[in-house]
Amino acid sequence: MFYGYSGVQYLNAINQDQVQQYESGIDVWRMNAFFEYALTEQRKAHIVWGFGFDHSGHANLEAFGNISRRSYRQYYLYLPVSLKYKWTNHFYSSIGMAGGALIESRYIEENSVGTYRANDNSFYREFQLSSTLNLGYEIPLNKNRVLFFEVAGNYNWLGKLTNDAAEDHTQRAAWQAGLGVGIMKRF
């Protein structure tokens, strides 16, 4: 399980100071299952692959009309592959790539009447390519189980496409940073 913060990087030449005044990041979560294979007998280098659920997005801060806040969220089914290196018996780092397929994009609008949820009609790429970087610490629980904690980061390279004139054709790429925790079982 991963809990973190998702923000956006602006990809085109827009007035970033103006846009950053009315946009912010959002809290996100992610979960995945993975397999790990040791590449050496010393068990220092590993290849890690799996599948998971990824969540990213951003929110508007500036109120307009009766809308107090609107957040945009994208949900991806993704397949990560990474190279993990154990620096000590407990500390490791990993770097990799993940391909993702868009499951759904939604927006949530909070206004004076209540909360409204709907599909986002902006254009998102159906396929996303992300890079990942993790720093972690493992604590052996017993012979076959390990508790791990990770500081994790993820950057979506392909970004969001939009033709919304109100956003002046703003192009965004989402990123996530946060903390992960999990249990690994060795076979």
- What residue type is 112 in one-letter code? S
Mean pLDDT of 99-113: 83
- For residues 147-172, b (16+ Cβ closer than 10 Å) or e, as one string? ebebebbbbbebbbebeeeebeebbb
Rounded CA gap, 38 and 36, in Å?
Answer: 7
- What residue type is 88 in one-letter code? T
Q: Domain boundaries in the chain? A: 2-185
pLDDT score of 66: 61
pLDDT score of 17: 63
pLDDT in tens, 38-63: 998 888 999 999 999 988 888 877 66
Residue 82 pLDDT greater than 80, yes or no: yes
pLDDT score of 143: 87
Burial class (CB in 10 A: 0-12, 13-18, 19+), 139: exposed
pTM: 0.78
Rounded CA gap, 114 and 131, in Å?
Answer: 37
pLDDT in tens, 138-164: 999 998 899 999 999 988 887 665 555
**CATH 2.40.10, applies to 2-185:** no
The 3 state secondary structure assigned to the chain is CEEEEEEEEECCCCCHHHHHHHEECEEEEEEEEEEEEECCCCCCEEEEEEEEEEEEEEEECCCECCEEEEEEEEEEEEEEEEEEEECCCCEEEEEEEEEEEEEEEEEEEEECCCEEEEECCCEECCEEEEEEEEEEEEEECCCCEEEEEEEEEEEECCCEECCCHHHCCCCEEEEEEEEEEEEEECC
Rounded CA gap, 9 and 16, in Å?
Answer: 10
Rounded CA gap, 131 and 36, in Å?
Answer: 18
pLDDT score of 172: 73
Q: Tell me which residue has tokens 């399980």.
A: 1
